[in-house]
Amino acid sequence: PADPGPGAPGGLFAWLRGRCLGRGAAVDPARDTFGAMTGLYGAIQPADSVSLSTRTHGAVFNLEYSPDGSVLTVACEQTEVLLFDPISSKHIKTLSEAHEDCVNNIRFLDNRLFATCSDDTTIALWDLRKLNTKVCTLHGHTSWVKNIEYDTNTRLLVTSGFDGNVIIWDTNRCTEDGCPHKKFFHTRFLMRMRLTPDCSKMLISTSSGYLLILHDLDLNKSLEVGSYPILRARRTTSSSDITSSGSSGPRAVASPCHQNNSGPLSEKTLSRPSQREGGSPRNSLEVLTPEVPGERDRGNCITSLQLHPKGWATLLRCSSNTDDQEWTCVYEFQEGAPVRPVSPRCSLRLTHCIEEANVGRGYIKELCFSPDGRMISSPHGFGIRLLGFDARCSELVDCLPREASPLREIRSLYSHSDVVLTTKFSPTHCQIASGCLSGRVSLYQPKF
């Protein structure tokens, strides 16, 4: 048959353009599988959930599957870590004194080793083959440790806490006494820290509404005061924003970047020309104030931070400075040189958002992407919502809007009697886990 022409739907040029963007079965044959999984998630019923009561273990702060999906770990308020078999829904083990205070986060290094962090200021390493004792305990933070990341390239553990420090741990040289470590970065009001899937960027969110991005990440180089170039971007703070609190309250009183005692960042420092064109310096810092719907004139707090599994976008949960609104927002990464060198463009662009149920004030709600990146699971009151970029749960690159669009609600699942604080997709099975304030864990899966 005759070629319909480059401008016609399905034409040769349209096919080539789609291929360049990573679209189409010829480029990604697994998309049919992803579509089938999306259909299964859409068929999940709340009645099919399995309730795993944690009884006296307190609130569930974090859920984490092992990479092979064989173990589900639960971080609890009352010093304990629970382990379940997510397939049989059977309880495996309780680490009754995993820490001396709340357990905040769990991160698997591989299928057997995992790390936990706590308000007791420590990080613990565990081996699934020998859970009666810790591999080692890591000391270095001076306040609550809230986040753990792992660089698979360098095998370095990265942690962050409310002391404002990001610390690097050399797990290659661990002993019973701990691991060699060093302070990598410091910022005020630190909330969450994440590495992109390829470990090329570090993102840090703050309670004052700033988002920091370290580009071309090099974890082997510590960032001393003033040692990193700062890149100006859209909606980056000005000197007037930094030195005055305005009407947005205590969360937005200062820039988060740690400097010397002479004062906060100056406009001259923030306006330093971008060096991203033609080879960016390592660990270049970009300071952003992400656009949040309805919050243009008020401060906000970025409480939860996640990355798209393919590194295309970042997912934020934001609350207003007065805690009367919550939003889930998706920001696409924009790579490449700016259009005008004198005005570098922002690395992030708001593409999708949705307002959340404003319940459980003061508690952080941890949301997540599905393993294929097509859906978002978000705590919503006493349940969770499955959200998509469009009604068909298309890939983000296939449905990028010209302006910010609302996330589409695919399904709502309610099986808790208290506020849900965390949710997680299984990396290998069609299963979702959620945990709530009263300590109950629910597993959602299709019933055949």
| pLDDT tens, residue by residue, 122-134 | 999 999 999 999 9
Does residue 113 sit within a domain? no
Q: Is 339 a domain residue? A: yes
Structure-token match 């401060």, residue found: 299
Structural domain count, the chain: 1
Residue 446, pLDDT > 60, answer yes
Question: What distance lies between CA 321 and its chain's CA centroid?
Answer: 20
* Percentage above 90 pLDDT, the chain: 46
DSSP string of 324-381? S-EEEEEEEE--S--SBTTBPPPSEEEEEEEEE---STTS--B-EE-TTSSEEEEEET
> Which residues does 263 contact at the CB level (< 8 Å), separation at least 6?
none
Residue 200 lies in a domain: no
Mean pLDDT across the stretch 239-254?
30
Residue 18 binned pLDDT confidence (cut-offs 50, 70, 90): low
Q: Quick one: what percent of the chain has pLDDT higher than 70? A: 70
With a cut of 80, say whether residue 300 has pLDDT above it.
Answer: no
Whether 56 shows a pLDDT value over 70: the answer reads no
The confidence score (pLDDT) of residue 178 equals 72
Strand order of the β-sheet with 440-444 is: 50-53, 440-444, 432-436, 420-425
Tokens (6 digits) for 437 = 């304030």
Q: Is residue 383 part of a domain?
A: yes
Q: How confident is the model at residue 289 (pLDDT cuts 50, 70, 90)?
A: confident
- Beta strand residue intervals within 202-288, DSSP E: 202-206, 211-215, 230-231, 284-288
Question: Who contacts 352 (Cβ-Cβ below 8 Å, separation ≥6)?
Answer: 329, 330, 389, 401, 404, 405, 406, 407
Q: Is residue 130 part of a domain?
A: no
Decide if pLDDT at 38 tops 70. no
User: What is the model's pLDDT at position 423?
Assistant: 96
Categorize the per-residue pLDDT at 304 as very low, low, confident or very high, splitting at 50, 70 and 90.
Answer: very high
Q: What single letter denotes the amino acid at residue 144?
A: W
Quick check: 5 pLDDT over 50? Answer: no
The whole-number pLDDT of residue 247 equals 29
**Which CATH number characterizes residue 297's domain?**
2.130.10.10
> Residues 285-301: what's their mean pLDDT?
74
Give the domain extent around 352. Answer: 293-447
364 lies in a domain?
yes
Q: How far apart, in whole angstroms, are the C-alpha atoms of residue 233 and residue 271? A: 9
Q: What is the pLDDT of residue 275?
A: 40
Give 149-195 pLDDT, tens digit per residue. 999 888 999 999 999 999 999 988 877 677 889 999 999 999 999 99
Query: Does 318 fall in a domain?
Result: yes
Q: Which of 311, 320, 317, 319 is nearest to 329 (CA)?
A: 317
* 68 found inside a domain: no
